[in-house]
C-alpha cells in the first residue's frame, strides 16, 4: 500500500470481512479473532503525531513463557567500553561469515559499531552492522525501547516478515521497523547491511519550506505491507527475542507470532526505494549543504536539530559554475556516519568501499582526499553526471557517538591508514595573487 503515515486498513483475502465494522474492539471479533492495539505514541499525543494500529489475530501476543536473559554477542549500549577516539575513522568492508564455516542468522550477526544516549531514557541512537548467511528459523525479534529500527541492505536482499505482512527489501531500498513490532528476516545467501536504531523519535519527512509541496522523498513512494497470516503451531517452540534496555532476552511460545489476519491504523512498518528520491541540486554556483538530500528525519526537541537525519548522495547532474563541486572541507557540530551501498563516493574514490563505513565525529575535520581536490580544482566545468551507479548515505546526528570495542578492535576492519589520504595536500598559498574577472561569479 502506498503512502507515508496514512491510515491504512488491510485484511488477508483468505478471510474476507475480518476487520470489524464500525468499531475497534467488539465483544466478539469476526472469525473468533483477538483484538490487540499496538500503540506507538502516548494516548494523549496530538492527532498529528498520534500513532497506533489495531491488530486482529488468532492468538494475542501476551501468550508466551517468561523472558530470560540471553547472550548479546557484539550488540551493546555500553558506550564506555574503550576510550573516546576523536580521529577520522574508516572501516573496510565488514566481513560476512561463510555459510560453509558457520551458520549465522540476522540476530547473531548483529554488531554495534557506535552510538550514544540511553534506551532507558529513550534518548539516543545506535548504529549496527548485520552480516549473516542463513534465515531465522522459528524465531522473531522485537525491540521494546527504540522508536524506529532502520535496515539498509548493502549485499543481498532480505525478506522481512512482520505482524503486518511481508516486505522484500533489496539493496538500494530501506525499511523501517517500529517499536514493538515483531519481525523475522529471511536471507538468500551471504548478506550485509546497515542499521540505525533511534531511541527518541519517529522518523518524519523533512519540511520542504520554500521547495514547496513536492520534492525529495515523496509520500506516495513509501510502501506498507498488506495483511498476511500463518496459523502455525510450533511443537518444538517458537523463540521471541526481545531487545530491552540494551540487553537481549528470549522466551518460548508454541505458535507463530505472524498470526494477524487483519489490521488497521497508521503505525506500521514501511519501505522505500532510494531511486525514487527527487534530487534537488545547485544550478548556478556553490555547493548546497547535504541537508538538501535528506530522506527522513528523527527530530529532537530543539527546532532544526535532529536526533538523526538519513541523507543520501544519489546520481545527479553537476552544473555549478566557478565552483569546487565535490563536498567541501568541513568541521561539523553534528556526527557524520557514512556508508556506501554501491559504486564510488565522489570525494574519496579509493579506500571508501561498498559495505564499509566512516565516522567523522563532532568537530573532526574531514573532506575530499588529495586526488579529489587536485583533480576538481583544475577540471573544466561543464555539465556532468555525478555519482552515476553510486549510492552513498549518511546518518547525521546531534549526538557525540562513541565507538564500541568491536568497532575499534574486534572487527579487525578499521583502516588505520585513513588519515594518509590527506597527508599530501599541498600549500597553494600565493601572497602575490591578484583577482581577475574569471575569479568572479557571474563573469565569463
Q: Which residues define the annotated binding site for Fe cation? A: 330, 336, 366
Which is catalytic among the residues 64, 111, 202, 287? 287
As annotated, the binding site for homogentisate includes 345, 366
Distance CA 93, CA 351 (A): 10
Give the three-class secondary structure for 177: strand
The question of whether 412 is a catalytic residue gets the answer no
Which residue matches cell numbers 489475530?
Answer: 57
For residue 169, count CB atoms less than 10 angstroms from its CB and return exposed for 0-12, middle for 13-18, buried for 19 or more. buried
Residue 149 DSSP code: E
As annotated, the binding site includes 330, 336, 345, 366
Distance CA 7, CA 163 (A): 17
Task: Enumerate long-range contacts of 59-63, CB under 8 Å, 24 or more apart.
Answer: 59/34, 59/255, 59/259, 60/34, 60/36, 61/36, 61/182, 61/257, 63/253, 63/255
367: left (phi over 0), alpha (psi -120 to 50) or beta: left
CA angle (208 as vertex; 204, 210 as ends), nearest 5: 165
Distance CA 114, CA 403 (A): 4
**Which residues are designated catalytic?**
287
Amino acid at each position: 500500500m502506498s503512502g507515508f503515515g496514512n491510515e491504512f486498513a488491510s485484511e488477508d483475502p483468505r478471510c474476507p470481512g475480518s476487520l470489524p465494522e464500525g468499531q475497534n474492539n467488539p465483544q466478539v471479533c469476526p472469525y473468533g479473532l483477538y483484538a490487540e492495539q499496538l500503540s506507538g505514541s502516548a494516548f494523549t499525543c496530538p492527532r498529528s503525531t498520534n500513532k497506533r494500529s489495531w491488530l486482529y489475530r488468532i492468538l494475542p501476543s501476551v501468550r508466551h513463557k517468561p523472558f530470560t536473559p540471553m547472550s548479546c554477542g557484539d550488540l551493546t549500549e555500553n558506550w564506555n567500553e574503550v576510550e573516546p577516539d576523536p580521529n577520522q575513522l574508516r572501516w573496510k568492508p565488514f566481513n560476512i561469515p561463510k555459510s560453509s564455516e558457520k551458520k549465522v542468522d540476522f540476530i547473531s550477526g548483529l554488531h554495534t559499531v557506535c552510538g550514544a544516549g540511553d534506551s532507558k531514557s529513550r534518548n539516543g541512537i545506535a548504529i549496527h552492522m548485520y552480516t549473516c548467511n542463513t534465515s531465522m528459523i522459528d524465531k522473531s525479534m522485537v525491540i521494546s525501547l527504540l522508536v524506529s529500527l532502520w535496515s539498509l541492505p548493502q549485499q543481498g536482499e532480505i525478506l522481512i516478515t512482520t505482524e503486518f505482512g511481508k516486505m522484500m527489501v533489496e539493496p538500494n531500498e530501506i525499511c523501517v521497523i517500529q517499536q514493538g513490532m515483531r519481525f523475522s528476516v529471511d536471507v538468500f545467501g551471504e548478506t550485509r547491511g546497515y542499521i540505525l536504531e533511534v531511541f527518541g523519535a519517529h522518523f518524519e519527512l523533512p519540511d520542504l519550506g520554500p521547495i514547496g509541496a513536492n520534492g525529495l522523498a515523496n509520500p506516495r513512494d513509501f510502501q506498507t505491507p498488506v495483511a498476511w497470516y500463518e496459523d502455525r503451531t510450533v511443537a518444538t517452540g517458537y523463540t521471541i527475542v526481545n531487545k530491552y534496555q540494551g540487553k537481549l532476552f528470549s522466551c518460548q511460545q508454541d505458535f507463530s507470532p505472524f498470526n494477524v489476519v487483519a489490521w488497521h491504523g497508521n503505525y506500521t512498518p514501511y519501505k522505500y526505494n532510494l531511486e525514487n528520491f527527487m534530487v534537488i541540486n545547485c544550478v548556478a554556483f556553490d555547493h548546497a549543504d547535504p541537508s538538501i538530500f535528506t530522506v527522513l528525519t528523527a527530530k529532537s526537541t530543539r527546532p532544526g536539530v535532529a536526533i538523526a537525519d538519513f541523507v543520501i548522495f544519489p546520481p545527479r547532474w553537476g552544473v555549478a559554475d566557478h565552483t569546487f563541486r565535490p563536498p567541501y572541507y568541513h568541521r561539523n557540530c553534528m556526527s557524520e556516519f557514512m556508508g556506501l551501498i554501491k559504486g564510488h563516493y565522489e570525494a574519496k574514490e579509493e579506500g571508501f568501499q561498498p559495505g564499509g563505513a566512516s565516522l567523522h565525529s563532532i568537530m573532526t575535520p574531514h573532506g575530499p582526499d588529495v586526488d579529489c581536490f587536485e583533480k576538481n580544482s583544475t577540471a573544466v566545468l561543464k555539465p556532468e553526471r555525478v555519482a552515476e551507479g553510486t549510492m552513498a548515505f549518511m546518518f547525521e546526528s546531534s549526538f557525540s557517538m562513541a565507538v564500541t570495542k568491536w568497532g575499534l578492535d574486534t572487527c579487525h576492519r578499521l583502516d588505520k591508514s585513513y588519515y594518509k589520504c590527506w597527508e599530501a595536500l599541498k600549500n597553494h598559498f600565493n601572497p602575490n595573487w591578484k583577482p581577475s574577472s574569471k575569479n568572479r561569479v557571474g563573469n565569463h
